[in-house]
């Protein structure tokens, strides 16, 4: 099971994807933000303030999910003595931080 987590195999898979993933990310992000913040109707009680919930709630959930994943990877890294789990958990820290800041600001 852990043979797929070797750095050479992970790098050979992930080195091909960044261009396409970035393009897909920009397209999906622009469509999602425009639908949530511009084209969504206002609420009859809260008005335009309800639109911020389309950003705040998913950012908070994603932040919680990322930090939970970091926790589980660290625990499994200590149990199974796999150093790659620690490297993967370190790579998720910045994403969790960004989503946490987004949820706190909104």
pLDDT band at residue 2, thresholds of 50, 70 and 90?
A: low
pLDDT class of 16 with cuts at 50, 70, 90: confident
Predicted pLDDT at 98: 93
Name the DSSP letter for residue 43. B
Instruction: Say how many residues make up the chain.
Output: 106
DSSP single-letter state for residue 106: -
This prediction has a pTM of 0.73
Instruction: Please report the pLDDT score of residue 69 as a whole number.
Output: 96
Q: How confident is the model over 25-49, as pLDDT tens digits?
A: 899 989 988 988 889 888 888 888 8
Helix extents (H) in the chain: 7-14, 18-34, 53-80, 83-105
Let me know: does 37 contact 54? Beta carbons within 8 Å.
yes
DSSP state of 4: G
Would you say residue 11 has pLDDT above 70?
yes
Q: What is the pLDDT of residues 53-100, one digit of tens each?
A: 888 999 999 999 999 999 999 999 999 988 889 999 999 999 999 999
The upper half-sphere exposure of residue 40, i.e. CA atoms within 13 Å in the direction of its Cβ, equals 19
Give the three-state DSSP class for 47: strand
Domain that holds residue 89: 2-105
- Are 99 and 67 in contact, with CB atoms under 8 Å apart? no
Number of domains in the chain: 1
């Amino acid at each position: 099971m852990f043979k797929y987590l070797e750095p050479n195999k992970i790098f050979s898979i992930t080195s091909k994807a960044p261009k396409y993933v970035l393009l897909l990310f920009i397209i999906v992000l622009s469509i999602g933000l425009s639908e949530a913040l511009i084209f969504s109707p206002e609420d009859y009680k809260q008005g335009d303030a309800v639109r911020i919930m389309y950003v705040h709630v998913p950012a908070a959930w994603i932040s919680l999910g990322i930090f939970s994943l970091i926790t589980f990877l660290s625990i499994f890294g200590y149990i199974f003595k796999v150093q790659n789990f620690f490297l993967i958990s370190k790579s998720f820290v910045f994403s969790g931080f960004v989503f946490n800041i987004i949820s706190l600001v909104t």
